[in-house]
């Protein structure tokens, strides 16, 4: 999700990065890239960049290296086609089983706390921060912070503490990440696995989109210090978790696709040319109606700035739940 001030530059060397980095800047100017240039970009994951620009004077494109794996137009078309196919599949299944689609969902949550050692600086956060994060999710997804209510609530099932320096930081796209998730992931498609840790590339978090076939990579990775009470200045109210879970529930960024086309696939989030950072006033980057949705959880603004999902996003998440994650 948002940016994070320039911390931990020690981690910038040697980390796996990112053929994905150029996607957003290209998409933002409406250029349709050659598919081959993006073949390495996974369509089922979304990584969030850190804040390398702590002031507002950032030249367009200056943050390209830190940008996430924004999906290409081709990838969103493929994902939308898959959603339609999954919905048809599930409708047939339900008709046979006499089962209705769900309208309210309680999501079991398993939180894996990846620690370097037993110290607070090494990732050993108190349970209270995790409980606060669950409360933040429940507030956000119930509309309690000012947005639309969604179908979702969250119930903490387990806190799993793991001390393993080999998984600290969690390096996005690494074999260590795969090994960690393969070892730790619990539950079925409906179980939200959250991995907390120090993260590579100054990232705040990343998430997988839902897929028809569950695999062990499914889940969200969140910077430990982005939890409520953490040390990630401007990003320590828990909205990284809210944003990443939005992806896990099939939401795109509000700036997906820029000003053109179907954007984020949701009609009530005005089009936005590129991510918004910090908390700009009156930003309006597309000629289509509406100011940029900078207060939406699926933009990149500060935690203090974002407080809502829209009704369209709530509907999109529930549709995807019934297509992909419902039992
Ligand atoms: Zn994101």
pLDDT digits (tens, 9 = 90+) for 64-123: 333 345 788 888 999 999 999 999 988 888 888 877 778 899 999 999 999 999 999 999
Going from the Cα of 69 to the center of ligand 1, the distance in angstroms, rounded, reads 9
Q: pLDDT tens for residues 251-271?
A: 999 999 999 888 999 999 999
Which of 118, 109, 108, 28 has its CA nearest to residue 73?
Answer: 28
Whether the predicted pLDDT of 183 surpasses 60 = yes
> CA-to-CA distance for 17 and 279, rounded, in angstroms?
27
To 10 degrees, the CA torsion angle through 267, 78, 103, 241? -80
Taking a C-beta distance cutoff of 8 angstroms, is the pair 190, 210 a contact? no
Contact partners, residue 318, CB within 8 Å, separation at least 6: 102, 103, 105, 150, 151
Q: Kindly state the helix (H) or strand (E) to which residue 36 belongs, with its residue range.
A: none
CA–centroid distance, 299 to ligand 1, in Å, is 7
Q: In terms of C-beta density within 10 A (0-12 exposed, 13-18 middle, 19 or more buried), how is residue 118 classed?
A: exposed
Least confident of 62-71, 86-95, 122-131, 289-298: 62-71
Place of tokens 């099939």: 250
Instruction: HSE, CB side, 13 Å, CA atoms: give it for residue 29.
Output: 8
Radius of gyration of the chain (CA): 18
Cβ-in-10-Å burial (0-12, 13-18, 19+) of 69 comes to buried
Catalytic residue of the set 177, 225, 244, 274: 244
Identify each DSSP E strand in 186-327 by its residue range.
Answer: 192-197, 205-208, 220-223
Query: What's residue 90's pLDDT?
Result: 87
Amino acid 44: pLDDT: 53
pLDDT at 51: 44
The rounded Å distance from CA 275 to ligand 1 centre is 10
In DSSP terms, 160 is beta-bridged to: 112
Q: How far apart are CA 322 and CA 166, in angstroms?
A: 37
Q: Is the pLDDT of residue 223 over 80?
A: yes
Q: 96 C-alpha to center of ligand 1: Å?
A: 36
Per-residue buried b or exposed e for 124-157, using 16+ beta carbons within 10 Å of the residue's own CB: ebeeebbebbbebbeebbbbebebbebbbebebe
Question: Across residues 220-228, what is the average pLDDT?
Answer: 97
Strand, coil or helix: 154: strand
Active site residue 244: yes
CA of 70 to the centre of ligand 1 (A): 8
Read off the pLDDT band of 15 (50, 70, 90): very low
pLDDT at 99: 76
Tokens for 11? 């981690």
pLDDT value for 46: 61
């Amino acid at each position: 999700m948002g940016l994070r001030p320039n911390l931990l530059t020690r981690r910038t060397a040697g980390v796996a990065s990112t053929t994905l980095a150029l996607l957003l800047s290209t998409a933002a100017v409406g250029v349709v890239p050659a598919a081959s240039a993006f073949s390495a970009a996974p369509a089922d994951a979304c990584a969030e960049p850190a804040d390398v620009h702590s002031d507002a004077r950032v030249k367009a494109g200056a943050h390209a290296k830190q940008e996430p794996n924004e999906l290409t137009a081709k990838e969103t078309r493929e994902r939308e086609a898959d959603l339609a196919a999954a919905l048809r599949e599930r409708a047939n299944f339900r008709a046979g089983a006499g089962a209705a689609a769900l309208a309210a969902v309680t999501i079991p949550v398993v939180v894996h706390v990846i620690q370097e050692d037993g110290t607070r600086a090494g990732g050993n956060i108190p349970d209270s921060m995790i409980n606060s994060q669950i409360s933040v999710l429940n507030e956000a997804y119930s509309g309690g912070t000012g947005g639309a209510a969604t179908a979702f609530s969250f119930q903490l099932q387990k806190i799993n503490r793991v001390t393993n320096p080999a998984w600290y930081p969690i390096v996005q796209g690494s074999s260590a990440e795969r090994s960690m998730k393969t070892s730790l992931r619990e539950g079925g498609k409906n179980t939200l696995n959250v991995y907390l840790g120090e993260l590579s590339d100054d990232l705040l978090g990343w998430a997988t989109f839902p897929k028809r076939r569950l695999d062990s990579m499914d889940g969200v990775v969140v910077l430990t210090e982005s939890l409520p009470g953490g040390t990630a200045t401007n990003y320590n109210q828990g909205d990284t978790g809210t944003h990443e879970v939005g992806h896990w529930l099939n939401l795109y960024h509000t700036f997906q696709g820029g000003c053109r086309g179907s954007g984020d696939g949701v009609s009530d989030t005005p089009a936005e040319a590129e991510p918004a950072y910090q908390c700009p006033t009156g930003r309006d980057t597309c000629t289509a109606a509406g100011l940029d949705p900078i207060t939406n959880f699926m933009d990149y603004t500060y935690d203090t700035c974002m407080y809502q999902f829209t009704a369209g996003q709530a509907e999109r998440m529930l549709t995807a739940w019934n297509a992909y994650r419902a039992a």
